[in-house]
Structure formats: structure tokens, C-alpha cells
Amino acid sequence: MESQAFFETRRVAFEDLALRERAFDLHAHRLPRPAVDASEPRWIVGGGPTDLHAQQSLVEALFAEARLAAVGAGVAQADDDQRTAVEKWCDLLVQSHSPFWHDVGTIESLARASAEKCRQLASETYRPPERMGDRINRLRLESGMSVEDLAAAMELAKTSVIAHTQNRSTPRPEALSRYAEVFSSRLERQVSVADLRGEA
């Protein structure tokens, strides 16, 4: 799956398309997959501005974004043609039970549902960077140690260990070396100061 920034970019593009398309009566309809010819489209777009160039421009912009979003979300492959990727994206929106989009609706509602799905995907892909205290606390938990156990092994006050694990203070270099020794011993694998700093 792509990054948070990727889906935020798609979300903004879809919201822009929704605003552009609000003025038009452009609709999309989902058809059941034909039993005989699987190459027939499952989503039909119709209506919209009488200016066919304007209609074509709107649909192309929406489909280009939907293709990018489908590939980014992992529901379509990079080598899928645009129509296939867009159908997979629309199917994902239907499966997501979007309040904006079902099996039929305006292109504006399709763009709004797409923006909302991208917002959801962006939040799922975002993970804040792990800070030093987070790494110390994770290793403490992996080691099966309580805060008291770690403070005793470190020969530090419990309040100092809590401050380190909650990112309220940074351990001194000698304390970092001691954390590395304690975790290496408890986990029976090498944990370095660079690991604790996130440099490994």
C-alpha cells in the first residue's frame, strides 16, 4: 500500500473533481458482469455537460485518479488497463459501504466517496515515527520486564526510566550503553546504542 502523502494527494484531487463536477449531471451506473463477455465494462458513465469535450475531460481526470488510487490501495495491478483499475476502485467503494456511493450516483458522489476512501487509507498508512523512548519501552516489553525491573537492572530511579520510556527526557550516553547491555542480555541478541537511537 502507498504512503499517507500519496493518499492525501489523491484525496485532494478527488475533492477538487467533486467541486468541478457538481455543476454537471454526470452519472455512473454499475452493471452486473455479463455472463458471456467479461470484457464488457461493468461501470457505465453517462449524462453530463452537452459539451462532449468537457464531459470527456472530467471523466478522464476522475478515471486517472481512480486508477492511481486503485493501484496504490493494492486492489489493482500497475499493468491493469485503466478501465479494469477503475472498476476495481468502484467495487472497493461499494464494499466499503460509503455513504456517498452505492451502485449508482453522480460522478460528484463518486468523487466524494473516493476522497473519503483516500482519507481512510491515508489514516491507515500513517504511523508516527518511533522515538527513542518508544524503542526503549518496546524492548522493555519484549524483554518481559516491568518498569521496576528495568530501573533495578539499570541502577536508575524508576522515575528516570519512566521519563525515558515516555520521551520526556533523553538518556545520557552512559545510560544508553547500559540499556543496550541490559536488553542484549535479556533478549539474547545484540541490541546496540545505534538500535536505541534508531540509526541501525
pLDDT of 74 above 60: yes
What CATH fold (topology level) applies to the domain 132-197? 434 Repressor (Amino-terminal Domain) (1.10.260)
Per-residue pLDDT tens over the stretch 22-31:
655 556 655 5
Q: Which residue has the higher pLDDT, 40 or 13?
A: 13
pLDDT bin (cut points 50, 70, 90) of residue 20 is: confident
Give the Å distances, CA to CA, from 89 to 48, 67, 76. Answer: 21, 7, 8
Percent of the chain with pLDDT over 90: 42
Across the beta sheet with 104-106, the strand order is 43-47, 26-30, 104-106
Domain ranges of the chain: 4-125, 132-197
pLDDT of amino acid 50: 61
